[in-house]
Amino acid sequence: MADASATVGSTAAAHGLPDTFPKLLERNAREFGDRPSIREKDYGIWQTWTWKQVHQEVRQLAAGLASFGVKRGDKIAIVGDNRPHLYWAMCAAQMLGAVPVPVYQDSVAEEMGFVIDHAEADLAIAEDQEQVDKLLVIREKHNRPGRIVYKDSRGMRDYNQSGIVSLADIATRGAEFMKQHPGFLDAEIAKGKGSDVSVMLYTSGTTGQPKGVMLSYDNVIVSGHNGIKFDGLTRDDEVLAYLPMAWVGDHIYSYGESFIAGFCLSCPESGATVLTDLREIGPTFFFAPPRIFENLLTTVSIRMEDAGWVKRSMYKYFMELARRTGIAILDKRPVSATDRFLYWLGGYLVYGPLKNALGFSRIRLGYTAGEAIGPDIFDFYRSLGLNLKQLYGMTETSVFICMQPDGQVKADTVGVPAPQVEIKIAESGEVLVKSPGVFLTYYKNDAATAETKTPDGWVHTGDAGFFDKDGHLKIIDRAKDVGRLRDGTLFAPKYIENKLKFFPYIREAVAFGDGRDYVACFINIDLEATGNWAERRAVSYGSYQELAAKPEVYDLLQECVEKVNRDLAADPNVAGSQIKRFLILHKELDADDGELTRTRKVRRRFIGDRYAPLIEGLYSDRDRTFIKTTVTFEDGRTGTIEADLAIREAKRQPATATTTHKTAA
Amino acid sequence: MTSSGRVIGDTLLKIENITLSFGGVRALSDVSFDVRKGEIRAIIGPNGAGKSSMLNCINGFYHPQKGQITYKGTVRQQMRPHEAAAQGIARTFQNIALFKGMSTLDNIMSGRLLKMKRGFFWQALYWGPAEREELEHREAVEKIIDFLEIQAIRKMPVGKLPYGLQKRVELGRALAAEPDLLLLDEPMAGMNVEEKEDMCRFILDVNDQFGTTIALIEHDMGVVMDLSDRVVVLEYGQKIADGTPDEVRSNQKVIDAYLGVPH
C-alpha cells in the first residue's frame, strides 16, 4: 500500500507546495493574510496576530538578525516555552538560511550547554531572564553563545554583559536595515531550497549524549503535508501549542502543519495554565503524550470520587454505558436503539459537560504518541466520543511512521504505515522505515548516522515489533531491551512496565530479568492517586517516602502486580515473565537526577547502576533492603536520602492460565 | 544584582526619637532612623523587639507619644492608616490578611480601591466612565498578575491557595496601590526555601522595576543580609545598630542580641 503513494515524490515541490517555511509564510500572507495565524494569552487576554502581521513581524526580525551578523548556515538556539515570538524567530532564522535549534527549555545548564556547544550555536534567542541566566552560565564554560537575544525584558535591566540584546531592539534594527538594504531579504528567501537543512532537533538521549537530527525542508514539509491529508486538517482547525518546542512532535504539528495547512496556533499563558487555556481555546485537534491524557483522567476520577452521590452514580452509570456502546458508535458499528438513545441522553448529562471541563468540546481529532497508552485510558476517551488515535514515529523520520486510520483504531497497535512510508521488519524483529521524512544526517556524528541510517535510506527504529493480521504494526519494546530469562523465556521489560503503569496508583515501573532467574521490578507510586486512596482509608502519611513504605500501599500494589501476572499468564509468549518480587521506591524517579529522560522515559541502565543494592535485594531471599541515594533538589543543590525498603513476593499464575482468566472475567 | 543602575535618592521617610508605650509597657523608646528613596531597608531584631510596632507607627496605625515622623519632607501629624495609604504607603501583614473567599484577581483589585474615582452607584451601573475605569484597573491588575507569575491562580479563591502563594497575592494587592513606600511585615515567614527564594526575587524585582522604596521586617538573617541595602537593628524597643549588612553583621551588640550573652 505504501508503494502506490510513493510515486508522488518526496520533495515539497513535487507536492505542489512552496519548498521552505519562509515561502510558505509568504503564500499564507498573500492568500489568506487576514486569517488568524497565532494567539497568545497575555495579561489575561488572547492576543491574535494574522498571517499578514506575522509575515511583517518575521521579516523585521530576520532583517534585524541579519544586521546582527547572522549568516547562512549559522545555528541559532531557541530557548523557551511556546511563544509566538520564538516560533517567529525560527522562521526569521530560516529566512536568512540559518538553522534554528530549539532546545528543551527545562533542561539544566549542563545538558543545555552540551547541545549549544555541540550545535555551535553562537546566538541564542531566549524567552526570559531565567533562560538568559542559564545561557550566561553556559557561556562561561563553553564560550558560547556569544550573543543572547531575550524576549521578556522583565528583570533584565541590569544585564550589561556583552552581546545581550532584546528582541524588540532586534526588530527596530530590522526595520532600519530593511530601509537601507531593500531587496536583501527577498533575495535571501529566494536562495532557500527544499533540500536545505531547515531545523536541527536534538533527540532526548535515552542512550548516551543527545544527537542533533538534521531535517530538511522537504522532510518536514512533505511529512506535515501527508499528515494533514491523512486526517483532513484545514485552516479552520485550532491547535494549542504547549509541548516543548524542541520536541519533533511540536515542530511538525505546531510549527510545520500550521504553516502548511494555515490553521491558527494558540500559545498558553504559562505552563501552569494549560488546562484553563485548553478549555478557553477548545482546540479541534489535540496532540499529547499519554501522560497528559492519564493526568487528565486522574484529575477527573479524583474529582468524581469527591462528588456528591447523585453526580457520582450518574457518572458511574453513564460511563459504564459509554464503555459498552461509545466506541462502537464512534467506529460506526451497529448499536441497539435503546443504547443509542441512552448514549444520546448521556451526552447531555455527563459526556458533554465532562468534555467541556476537559477542554475537548470541539475536538475532532486527538493523537497520542511517544509511549504506549493504557487501554483503559484510551478507551475512556474514545467511549466519550473523542476520536483519539495512536501514532508511531520518531525524530529521525519527521514523526510519521504509523498512524491509525479512522474506524480502525485498536488500543494495542499503532496502526498502518503513514502515507509514503515503507516499513520492513528485520530478522532481529527490529522495525525499519523508509519515507520522505527520513533525516539527512546527525550533526557531527557520522558513526551514529551510519548506525541508524543505511546507505539506501532505511532507518533503524530500534523498536521491536510485528504486523498483526490486519496489517497494523504492534510494537513490543526497544529491540535492544528485549532480553531473555536464564531459562530462555522472552522478557520484554517495557511490555510489563506499561501493564503496571496502566494502574492509576503506579507512576513509573522498572522491570529487571534479562539473564536472571525471574522477573523483579521497582515501582514508583503516583502521589496524587495513591495519596487520595490512602486518605480515603484514613492511612496517614507525612511524605512521599512514608506513603511509599506503608504496608497498606504495598498490599494495594501487590494486587496490581498480581493482576498484571494474570494478564501475562494469558499470553503464552510472555507467560514465563511474570513478576516474582517487587519493591516500592522511596523517591520519585526524576529527570533532574538523570533517572528519566526529559520526555520521561526510563533510563534503564543508569537506574540499574544507581540502585544496584536494591536489585541485589530483589534477587536474594531477604525481605528488606537498604539504600542511600543522592538527590538533586529543584534549586540545583544535592542531598542524600536513606531508606530501608520492604520487598514483596507476588503470586504467579500457571503458564497456561487461560481458564482462570475466563473465570475471573 | 545590587551593582545596578539603581539610584538611591534623598530621604523619603525620617523617624526621629520615636517613643511608643502601651500603658506601662514601652514598645519603642527613642528610636531614630531614615529610609532613602529607592532603597531596601530592613528592620530586624529578636521577638518582641518592637519591629511590628515600628511598622505600625509608620503606617499610621499606632500614634507614638514622642518623636516625629517626616514623610516626603513634611512632618506628619496624627494620621490614620487610610491617609497613609492615600499618601502612597502600602503594606502586607505578618498574618495574611486577604479576603479568603474572593479570587486572587478580586483581592488584588481591592488594592486599587484608592485609585478608583467613581462611586458605588456608578460602579453598580457599570456603564460608560465606570466601565472604562474598571478596564483600566483590570489592566493594571493583570500586569501585576503577570509580574508575580500567578496567572494560573487568577480565578481561584485565595483561601484555597498554599501559604506561599497567599503571601504572593498579598504582595500583589500592596503593589496594586502603586505605592511609593512598601512596608513588608515578615514577607518570608513560614515559607520553605524555594518559596523564600521566589519571594526574594520578587522583592528585588519590585524595587528594581518600579523603583519602589521598601521597608521590611524579617527574621531570617541570611535573607535580610542578601536583600537589603541598609539594616536597622532593634532590641527591647531600642535601636542597637544601623548600617550596611556587613557593618551590622560584625557589630558586637547585634551578635549578643541574637546569640545571647552570658550574664
Spell out the per-residue pLDDT of chain B, length 263, in tens. Answer: 444 557 788 889 999 999 998 888 888 989 999 999 999 999 988 888 888 899 989 888 888 888 888 988 888 877 788 888 888 899 888 878 899 999 999 999 998 887 777 777 777 777 777 888 888 899 999 999 999 989 989 999 999 898 889 999 999 999 999 999 999 998 888 888 888 888 998 999 899 888 899 999 987 778 888 889 999 998 888 899 999 998 888 888 888 877 766 65
C-alpha–C-alpha distance, residues B213 and B23, integer Å: 33
Residue A259 lies in a domain: yes
Q: Are residues A253 and A237 in the same domain?
A: yes
User: Using the beta-carbon criterion (under 8 Å), do B152 and A635 form an inter-chain contact?
Assistant: no
Residue B224 lies in a domain: yes
Q: How confident is the model at residue A314, as a pLDDT? A: 92
Tell me the chain B residues in contact with residue A42 when contact means C-beta distances shorter than 8 Å: 146
Residue A178 clears pLDDT 50, i.e. is over it: yes
* Length of chain A in terms of residues written: 665
Total domain count for chain A? 3
CA distances from A336 to A328, A329, A342, A343, B200 (A): 11, 10, 10, 11, 64
Residue A619 lies in a domain: yes
Average pLDDT on A114-143 reads: 94
Residue B95 neighbours by CB under 8 Å, 6+ apart: none
Average pLDDT on A120-131 reads: 94
Q: Grid coordinates in use for A347?
A: 451526552
User: Which among A269, A634, A635 has the least Cβ separation from residue B151?
Assistant: A269
Residue A617 neighbours by CB under 8 Å, 6+ apart: A583, A624, A625, A645, A647
Q: Give the model confidence (pLDDT) of A66-125 as tens digits.
A: 999 999 999 999 999 999 999 999 999 999 999 999 999 988 888 899 999 999 999 999
**Residues of chain B whose C-beta is under 8 A from some C-beta in A?**
1, 3-5, 138-139, 142-143, 145-147, 149, 151-152, 154, 193-194, 197, 201, 205, 208-209
The sheet with strand A459-467 has its strands ordered as A422-425, A430-434, A459-467, A473-478
C-alpha–C-alpha distance, residues A486 and A573, integer Å: 16
**Residues of chain A whose C-beta is under 8 A from some C-beta in B?**
41-45, 154-155, 157-158, 269-270, 272-273, 276, 634-635
Residue A253 clears pLDDT 60, i.e. is over it: yes
Residue B259 neighbours by CB under 8 Å, 6+ apart: none
User: Which among B1, B143, B147 has the least Cβ separation from residue A158?
Assistant: B1
Q: Say which residue, A468 or A397, is predicted with more confidence.
A: A397
Q: What percent of chain A has pLDDT over 90?
A: 55
Q: Are residues A197 and A307 in the same domain?
A: no
CA distance A290 to chain B (A): 23
Domain end residue (candidates: B126, B152, B177): B177
3-class SS letters over A317-376: HHHHHHHHHHHHHHCCCCCCHHHHHHHHHHHHHHHHHHHHHHCCCCCCEEEECCCCCCHH
Q: Are residues A77 and A164 in the same domain?
A: yes
Residue A512 lies in a domain: yes
Q: Are residues B84 and B188 in the same domain?
A: yes
C-beta neighbour count of A542 within 10 angstroms: 7
User: Using the beta-carbon criterion (under 8 Å), do B151 and A42 form an inter-chain contact?
Assistant: no
Q: Are residues B77 and B18 in the same domain?
A: yes
Domain end residue (candidates: A284, A314, A342): A284
Residue B94 lies in a domain: no
C-alpha–C-alpha distance, residues A600 and A617, integer Å: 26
Interface test with B, best of A40, A154, A156, A161 (most B CBs within 10 A): A154
* Per-position DSSP letters for A45-81, written without gaps between them: EEEEEEHHHHHHHHHHHHHHHHHTT--TT-EEEEESS
The amino acid at residue A158 is: D
Average pLDDT on A447-469 reads: 88
Average pLDDT on A394-413 reads: 89
Q: How confident is the model at residue A81, as a pLDDT? A: 93
Q: Grid coordinates in use for A11?
A: 520533495
User: Using the beta-carbon criterion (under 8 Å), do B142 and A44 form an inter-chain contact?
Assistant: yes
Q: Are residues B79 and B128 in the same domain?
A: no
C-beta neighbour count of A253 within 10 angstroms: 26
Given a contact cutoff of 8 angstroms between Cβ atoms, the answer to whether A102 and A201 are in contact is yes
* Per-position DSSP letters for A404-452, written without gaps between them: PPTT---TT---EEPTT-EEEE-TTSEEEEE-TT--S-BTT-HHHHHHH
Q: Are residues B104 and B157 in the same domain?
A: yes
User: Which among A44, A276, A634 has the least Cβ separation from residue B145?
Assistant: A44
We report the CATH number of the domain holding residue B32 as 3.40.50.300
The sheet with strand B238-243 has its strands ordered as B89-92, B181-185, B213-217, B40-44, B230-235, B238-243
Average pLDDT on A390-400 reads: 92
C-alpha–C-alpha distance, residues A488 and A468, integer Å: 24
Residue A450 lies in a domain: no
Q: How confident is the model at residue A216, as a pLDDT? A: 96
Model confidence at A488, pLDDT cuts 50, 70, 90, reads confident
Q: Are residues B71 and B137 in the same domain?
A: no
Find the closest chain A residue to B149 by CA distance. A270
Residue A47 neighbours by CB under 8 Å, 6+ apart: A39, A40, A41
Residue A39 lies in a domain: yes
Total domain count for chain B? 2
Q: How confident is the model at residue B126, as a pLDDT? A: 74
The C-alpha angle A626, A630, A635, rounded to 5 degrees, equals 145
Find the closest chain B residue to A634 by CA distance. B194
Q: Say which residue, A480 or A440, is predicted with more confidence.
A: A440
Q: Is the dihedral of CA A194, A199, A200, A205 positive or negative?
A: negative
Q: How confident is the model at residue A190, as a pLDDT? A: 95
Q: Are residues A181 and A68 in the same domain?
A: yes
CA distance B49 to chain A (A): 33
Model confidence at A664, pLDDT cuts 50, 70, 90, reads very low
C-alpha–C-alpha distance, residues A556 and B158, integer Å: 35
User: Using the beta-carbon criterion (under 8 Å), do B151 and A634 form an inter-chain contact?
Assistant: no
Residue A658 clears pLDDT 60, i.e. is over it: no
Residue A663 clears pLDDT 60, i.e. is over it: no
Q: Are residues B61 and B110 in the same domain?
A: no
C-alpha–C-alpha distance, residues B226 and B245, integer Å: 8
Q: Give the model confidence (pLDDT) of A582-631 as tens digits.
A: 999 988 888 888 888 877 788 888 898 889 989 999 999 888 888 887 77
Q: Are residues A385 and A521 in the same domain?
A: no
Given a contact cutoff of 8 angstroms between Cβ atoms, the answer to whether A239 and A253 are in contact is yes
Tell me the chain A residues in contact with residue B201 when contact means C-beta distances shorter than 8 Å: 155
Given a contact cutoff of 8 angstroms between Cβ atoms, the answer to whether A204 and A227 are in contact is no
C-alpha–C-alpha distance, residues A530 and A356, integer Å: 27
Give counts: helices (H), strands (E), chain B.
10, 10
Residue B198 lies in a domain: yes
Q: How confident is the model at residue A665, as a pLDDT? A: 29
Lowest mean pLDDT among A21-30, A492-501, B122-131: B122-131
User: Using the beta-carbon criterion (under 8 Å), do A272 and B152 form an inter-chain contact?
Assistant: yes
What burial class does residue A43 get, using C-beta atoms within 10 Å of its C-beta: 0-12 exposed, 13-18 middle, 19+ buried? middle
End-to-end CA distance of chain A: 39
Residue A482 clears pLDDT 90, i.e. is over it: no
User: Which among A157, A270, A635 has the least Cβ separation from residue B152?
Assistant: A270
End-to-end CA distance of chain B: 42
Q: Residue A135's closest CA among A153, A158, A110, A154?
A: A110
CA distance B106 to chain A (A): 14
Q: How confident is the model at residue A295, as a pLDDT? A: 84
Computed over every residue of chain A, the mean pLDDT equals 88
C-beta neighbour count of A471 within 10 angstroms: 12
Q: Give the model confidence (pLDDT) of B111-155 as tens digits.
A: 888 777 777 777 777 777 788 888 889 999 999 999 998 998 999
Between the ranges A93-97, A349-353, A503-507, where is the mean pLDDT highest?
A93-97
Chains A–B, number of C-beta pairs less than 8 Å apart: 43
Q: The cell 533562560 sits on which residue?
A: A131
Domain that holds residue B168: 100-177
User: Using the beta-carbon criterion (under 8 Å), do B208 and A158 form an inter-chain contact?
Assistant: yes
Q: How confident is the model at residue A1, as a pLDDT? A: 40
Average pLDDT on A384-409 reads: 91
Residue B55 lies in a domain: yes
Phi and psi at residue B105, to the nearest 5°: -60, -50
Q: Are residues A516 and A641 in the same domain?
A: yes
Q: How confident is the model at residue A573, as a pLDDT? A: 66
Q: Are residues A69 and A141 in the same domain?
A: yes
Domain end residue (candidates: B119, B151, B177): B177
CA distances from B99 to B24, B107, B179 (A): 35, 6, 20
Residue A584 lies in a domain: yes
C-alpha–C-alpha distance, residues A252 and A259, integer Å: 10
C-beta neighbour count of A516 within 10 angstroms: 17
Phi and psi at residue B181, to the nearest 5°: -125, 125
Q: Are residues B173 and B254 in the same domain?
A: no
Q: Residue A502's closest CA among A529, A484, A471?
A: A529
Interface test with A, best of B146, B153, B210 (most A CBs within 10 A): B146
Find the closest chain A residue to B152 by CA distance. A273
Q: Are residues A494 and A591 in the same domain?
A: yes
We report the CATH number of the domain holding residue A114 as 3.40.50.12780
Interface test with B, best of A43, A46, A267 (most B CBs within 10 A): A43
User: Which among A43, A154, A276 has the least Cβ separation from residue B142?
Assistant: A43
Domain end residue (candidates: A284, A299, A331): A284
Given a contact cutoff of 8 angstroms between Cβ atoms, the answer to whether A431 and A480 are in contact is no
Find the closest chain A residue to B193 by CA distance. A635
Domain that holds residue A113: 8-16+24-284
Q: Say which residue, A479 or A665, is predicted with more confidence.
A: A479
User: Which among A43, A158, A634 has the least Cβ separation from residue B146?
Assistant: A43
We report the CATH number of the domain holding residue A565 as 3.30.300.30
User: Which among B139, B152, B194 has the least Cβ separation from residue A43?
Assistant: B139
Model confidence at A8, pLDDT cuts 50, 70, 90, reads low
Residue A448 lies in a domain: no
Residue A446 lies in a domain: no
Q: Give the model confidence (pLDDT) of A273-305 as tens digits.
A: 888 899 899 999 999 888 888 888 888 888 888
Q: Are residues A555 and A610 in the same domain?
A: yes
Q: Are residues A240 and A297 in the same domain?
A: no
Q: Are residues B147 and B117 in the same domain?
A: yes
User: Using the beta-carbon criterion (under 8 Å), do B152 and A155 form an inter-chain contact?
Assistant: no
Tell me the chain B residues in contact with residue A272 when contact means C-beta distances shorter than 8 Å: 151-152
Q: Are residues B237 and B248 in the same domain?
A: yes
User: Using the beta-carbon criterion (under 8 Å), do B209 and A155 form an inter-chain contact?
Assistant: yes
Find the closest chain A residue to B208 by CA distance. A155
Q: Are residues A245 and A322 in the same domain?
A: no
Residue A3 clears pLDDT 60, i.e. is over it: no
The sheet with strand A75-79 has its strands ordered as A99-103, A75-79, A123-126, A147-150, A164-166
CA distances from A442 to A434, A439, A641 (A): 16, 8, 39
Tell me the chain A residues in contact with residue B149 when contact means C-beta distances shorter than 8 Å: 270
Residue A149 clears pLDDT 90, i.e. is over it: yes
Q: How confident is the model at residue B261, as a pLDDT? A: 67
C-alpha–C-alpha distance, residues A496 and A574, integer Å: 9
Q: Are residues B118 and B36 in the same domain?
A: no
Q: Grid coordinates in use for A287?
A: 496532540
Is the backbone peptide bond immediately before A145 cis, with ω within 30 degrees of 0?
yes
Q: How confident is the model at residue A491, as a pLDDT? A: 85
User: Using the beta-carbon criterion (under 8 Å), do B194 and A634 form an inter-chain contact?
Assistant: yes
Domain end residue (candidates: B177, B201, B232): B177
Residue A453 neighbours by CB under 8 Å, 6+ apart: A396, A438, A439, A441, A459, A460
Residue B93 lies in a domain: no
Tell me the chain B residues in contact with residue A155 when contact means C-beta distances shorter than 8 Å: 201, 205, 208-209
Q: Are residues B184 and B64 in the same domain?
A: yes
3-class SS letters over A120-181: CCCEEEECCHHHHHHHHHHHHHHCCCCEEEECCCCCCCCCCCCCEEEHHHHHHHHHHHHHHC
Q: Are residues A150 and A296 in the same domain?
A: no
C-alpha–C-alpha distance, residues A127 and A155, integer Å: 12
Q: Are residues B133 and B191 in the same domain?
A: no
Given a contact cutoff of 8 angstroms between Cβ atoms, the answer to whether A287 and A366 are in contact is yes
Residue B28 lies in a domain: yes
